[in-house]
Structure 1
Amino acid sequence: MSTEAAPDEAVDPRTSSAFLVNESLGYLVPAALRAAAVVGVADHLADGPRTPAELAAATRTDARNLHRVLRLLATRGIFEEDDSGRFRLTSAGDTLRSDAPCSARTAVLMNTDRSMWLPTADLSRCVSEGTSAFEHLFGLPFFEYFAQDEETADVFHCGMAAMSDAENEPIAAACDFPPTGTVVDVGGGHGGFLLAVLDRHPGLRGILYDRPHVLAGARLDTPGTAGRWSTASGDFFSGVPEGDVLVLKRIMHDWEDDQCVTLLERCRAALAPGGRLLVVDAVVPPGNAPHQAKALDLLLMAALVGRERTEPEFAGLFEAAGLKLSRVVPTSTVLSVVEAVAA
């Protein structure tokens, strides 16, 4: 008897062909989702089901084509069409409303923006040349382009804030913060995560560190955080403010390994004695199971220069920067807390 592994179960070529053709059409779902988000159709379903004609009148769109978009999204459980031809929002699609708690609308608009969408159509360039497709299409690297295109930058930062809103509280709950001290959120955007941390830990102070134009959207000014936070601006590759706990949330995956080592070195220099660095990012799991990190990794490959990383890859970057990985704390989100201390 042979001891070799059994081959995959034989599949009729016609079945395989139909499967692959169907997979190749998958991009039409996010395209339809973007169309629905752009015209704000979900906002007009908050009070109950409506016909495509009613929705078209409310959104000033074409009824027939809007119906076709909603029909496809109904196959993914975002909307549901009843026997009378009216559409309603499902619980899965409810946060497409702009006024929903933890609204995903601006995150959808960011993920499907042309700055993200167009590079992914050129993944073959990334594979062939080992480089991002973004600069070839837009003439500048990702963040340099954003620096001179205020409208696109606003889409990105608002979208990132929306992506974070649903995950900030559970991640803050999973992190081990000291009762007192200073937390520095490096590249912390509008401050949603730092706000969740300060709300949970009244003895902590926080510093939100980012570029000046990003800090203009800071939302830390609440009664519960009064007097316990400040902002600081600068380039985190040059230096970061000192603190007892430094946080890098969804930052390292934007950059190449050598850039990450530079950033980590700046963080190590800014750590108070006994301090800790918390890298909040997806950790790519082994095996063939689906994970959002495996999909987002391709978006990063196409549009930026970074990548999602495995636990050993994080450990290697920490070691190169004079840090050591102390533990990885999973959360109820797709992100984990990768904790490092001075080596």
Structure 2
Amino acid sequence: MSASPAPQPATANSHTSASPLHALMYGYIHASALRAVVVHRIPDLLALAPLTAEQLAADTGLKAGPLHRILRLLAVRGIFQQNPGGVFALTPAGRALCTDAPGSQRDAVLLFTDAMFRRSAVGLEDTLRTGEPGFDSAYGLPLFDHLGSHPDDSRLFDTAMSSLTSGVNEKIAESYPFPETARIVDVAGGRGGLLRAVLTRHPTLTGLLFDRPETVTDHLLHTGELTGRWQTEGGDVFTAIPPGGDLYLLKNILHDFPDDDCLRILSNIRGAVSTGTKLLVIDAVLPDDAAPHPAIALDIVMLMTLRGRERTHSEFGQLLGDAGFRINRTVPTPALTSIIEAEAL
């Protein structure tokens, strides 16, 4: 009988998490640590040069000990790199947190770690009983009503949406075969990031940005190459949609609302367009089977803050059909979203 191999001594790095549950249990800690370094603009400082916690503390007035520990935690998650001598450097993921980074996610982090979303998430246990968003319970009114009366929160929401979609818009503009000539109407288009990307890539197109008056006032369309090719109009998607467009865009809107509100929006669009006019519904499209999809997490954000949801292809087909549209095709993009091309019947 051969002898059993001698047990190997444990090394400093041989420990593993006792359970994958730990990553979930500690999730809010990582999010809070991420918010802390973004608020204090630590990524902006590390973009200039790798620094120790002591050097960063001297520049910011923070405490070096707690800062080192938070940086170390986020280094484990790939946001920073911890080098010998306690020097921290940015990773590509951390670079996206810088104020001046192309496609910066700084505002997105500030929004999704804000009290508006933290308090909504805490309310999920009650949402399971009531079906109501945690946001409504925490703030006493729906999210968009709150934004309408809190300008600072509204600005954060709008800038975060712009940062989330800054790279996505270009991918959408590249993925769909837009016609050579058309007037594009971007319905509830926010500050116009998508419309700007479409008009920039397709110089023979013109466009109209339609959203809340306070949102379109702060639009992104005033660039030299787009001069004379765009208009803005303030209004309410539940009241009336501007007519006269050749192609309508509806990006990341339907997932904000329950089916009855989506039907109102889609019916208003149908009432504004002629038979044969195309509508591009740009949203995450969940698979009809149980296959995993990254937007399943986003679906929980909808559950806790709004009465909306992410939908499957079949569910989109039902909504559009009830509003007088027919799905022609679905075009995938390199982003989270797909492009559903629908035609007015």
TM-score range, shorter chain: over 0.9
Question: Aligned to 1:61, what secondary structure does the other structure show?
Answer: coil
Partner of 1:88: 89
Partner of 2:104: 103
2:318 to 301, 316, 340: 316
The amino acid that maps onto 1:179 is E
Give distance in 1, aligned partners of 2:107 and 2:17.
36
State the Cα deviation string for residues 37-56 of structure 1 (Å, max 9, x = none).
11110000112210001112
Partner of 1:248: 250
Partner of 2:341: 339
Give distance in 2, aligned partners of 1:16 and 1:60.
34
- The two structures have a TM-score, normalised by structure 1, of 0.92
Quick check: 1:185–1:247 contact (8 Å CA) kept in 2? yes
Q: How big is the shift at 1:172?
A: 0.9
Q: Percent identity?
A: 43
The amino acid that maps onto 2:121 is T
Question: Aligned to 2:86, what secondary structure does the other structure show?
Answer: coil
State the Cα deviation string for residues 178-198 of structure 1 (Å, max 9, x = none).
111210111111111100000
Question: Aligned to 2:311, what secondary structure does the other structure show?
Answer: coil
* Count of aligned pairs: 329
Partner of 1:257: 259
Unaligned 5+ segments in structure 2 are 1-15
The amino acid that maps onto 1:42 is P
Quick check: 1:254–1:307 contact (8 Å CA) kept in 2? yes
The amino acid that maps onto 2:316 is F
The amino acid that maps onto 1:161 is S
Partner of 1:172: 173
Partner of 2:3: none
Q: How big is the shift at 1:16?
A: 11
Give distance in 1, aligned partners of 2:87 and 2:17.
36
Quick check: 1:329–1:338 contact (8 Å CA) kept in 2? yes
- The two structures have a TM-score, normalised by structure 2, of 0.92
Is residue 195 from structure 1 mapped to residue 233 from structure 2 by the alignment?
A: no
Give distance in 2, aligned partners of 1:205 and 1:69.
48
Runs of 4 or more above 6 Å deviation: none
Give distance in 1, aligned partners of 2:84 and 2:292.
34
Quick check: 1:244–1:274 contact (8 Å CA) kept in 2? no
Change (3 A) 1:288 1:312: closer
Q: Which has the larger radius of gyration?
A: 2
Is residue 304 from structure 1 mapped to residue 311 from structure 2 by the alignment?
A: no
Quick check: 1:208–1:230 contact (8 Å CA) kept in 2? yes
Quick check: 1:146–1:153 contact (8 Å CA) kept in 2? yes
Which sits farther off after the overlay, 200-209 or 271-280? 271-280
Unaligned 5+ segments in structure 1 are 1-14
State the Cα deviation string for residues 39-92 of structure 1 (Å, max 9, x = none).
110000112210001112222222111112111111111101111101000112
Quick check: 2:288–2:314 contact (8 Å CA) kept in 1? no
Which sits farther off after the overlay, 272-281 or 136-145? 272-281
Give distance in 1, aligned partners of 2:291 and 2:101.
31
State the Cα deviation string for residues 257-289 of structure 1 (Å, max 9, x = none).
000001001111222442110111111135565
Give distance in 1, aligned partners of 2:283 and 2:300.
15
